[in-house]
Structure 1
């Protein structure tokens, strides 16, 4: 029963935060600390529930994904499609993913050894929130109203900003959305692009980690992992659709202030329980 409760809580946390600009990794580390859930099993569990969140985005954007792969032609008017010409292609996605993938491979051992702690997460939450406020305030003149108007340069710039999220707590979506604003992409377009490039980024990162840690899995863990996977999938499905609507209304600032508040509250908790 206790394992099921942990699986549900962590699944909800992952589903809610993976695509919001608040850092899912940071939240999982912090809630893992509160639940006393850490170690190899916890690390593998986080990978599995991330795959559940990835599946949710793939379901929402399945037409766009098949369009990028050249398997179908999309009609204008869907959630992720504008009325402009179908210009987004795999080169945009590759340019946006390569910087963080390359740097992540180079720094993987350092990041795992030194940056996955509650205190480093709190630093990431604050720095990421400050960057989001900066991106909102200094938003460049909009040159791309939809993902189909993104240039290769803008896609690559967003990819460079995504490297900031290698610091746990910074937030991949926060870095890419704020980076998109600084690169002349409007809120909705940069959010859609952020979600799209999350799929290959997370599949690559999760796949790499899963190959390294699959030996920790046993048959008795199947139910525990399945609960977390399903909960993360369902919650992420609802969170992405809701976030697209909220972002257009509230922008990034409320999420940044939430990050600051969370950092303060959790720092107090850590100090009181030191």
Structure 2
């Protein structure tokens, strides 16, 4: 029963933080440390339940995904000024390669409170720099994003493999530095999050298949459902918030969270 309660709490934390540039993985790791929910299975759990929240994005952007899938199946990539599957693949490849190379190191050494606190602070600094040094906007919406910008955003997404950096924080910062609007960068971040998290979840569950007992799968399902439900409630509000609120405010929250956790818990 305590593990089920922890799974529900972590699912709620994931649903509330996935769509903000504050690092949902970082929050899960810190919350897991407070709850005593740690270890190999817990690490896999924290990765898997993120897919539950991300599936809320699939529901929200369903029409866009169907358009992209239709163009992919018909090999229609000639339409100018339109987001397509090539943008998504270009943006996904860098982080996928880095993850495949360093996944064991990441899970062994970075899924702990101390690395998360470093990631929160470093990610906050990156966000402030991006907000203040961002280039002139050349892409107001996702259909204006070029392949070059998609690749650049994908490279910035590699930072998110360090828990605490935040996938949305890293990619939105990258988008601003490469000339996209904050809205376009946020939309693009969420659109590519579904295939990214789906791939990460499948790979991690395969690698951790020896830990996937019946009890563990039940916990995964509980956390997944909790994250999905909470995310569906929060997604629209938070997506609007991230598109309008300056990144500096999220960076400030990250600094405060890191300081509080370091002072009172570490």
Q: Please, what TM-score do these two structures have when normalized by structure 2?
A: 0.92
Q: How far apart are residue 253 of structure 1 and its match?
A: 1.5
What residue in structure 2 maps to residue 94 of structure 1? 89
What residue in structure 2 maps to residue 43 of structure 1? 43
1 CA distance for matches of 2:135 and 2:210?
A: 47
SS of 1:199's equivalent in the other structure is helix
CA deviation map 1:2-40 (0-9, x unaligned): 223211110011111122111111111111100000112
Aligned length: 260
2 CA distance for matches of 1:222 and 1:103?
A: 27
2:98 to 91, 94, 103: 103
Q: How far apart are residue 53 of structure 1 and its match?
A: 1.4
What residue in structure 2 maps to residue 6 of structure 1? 6
**Structure 2 residue runs without a partner (length 5+):** 73-78
**Structure 1 residue runs without a partner (length 5+):** 73-83
CA RMSD of aligned residues (A): 1.8
Q: How far apart are residue 221 of structure 1 and its match?
A: 4.1
What residue in structure 2 maps to residue 261 of structure 1? 256
Query: Is the CA contact (8 Å cut-off) linking 1:187 and 1:248 kept in structure 2?
Result: yes
2 CA distance for matches of 1:44 and 1:248?
A: 30
What residue in structure 2 maps to residue 81 of structure 1? none
What residue in structure 2 maps to residue 152 of structure 1? 147
Please say which of residues 230-239 and 189-198 is displaced more in the overlay.
Answer: 230-239
Q: How far apart are residue 71 of structure 1 and its match?
A: 6.6
Matches within 5 A, 1:58-73: 58-70=58-70
* 2:161 is aligned with 1:166: yes
Q: How far apart are residue 251 of structure 1 and its match?
A: 1.9
What residue in structure 1 maps to residue 76 of structure 2? none
Matches within 5 A, 1:88-237: 88-237=83-232
What residue in structure 1 maps to residue 75 of structure 2? none
Q: 1:205 to 1:198 in 2, by over 3 A?
A: same
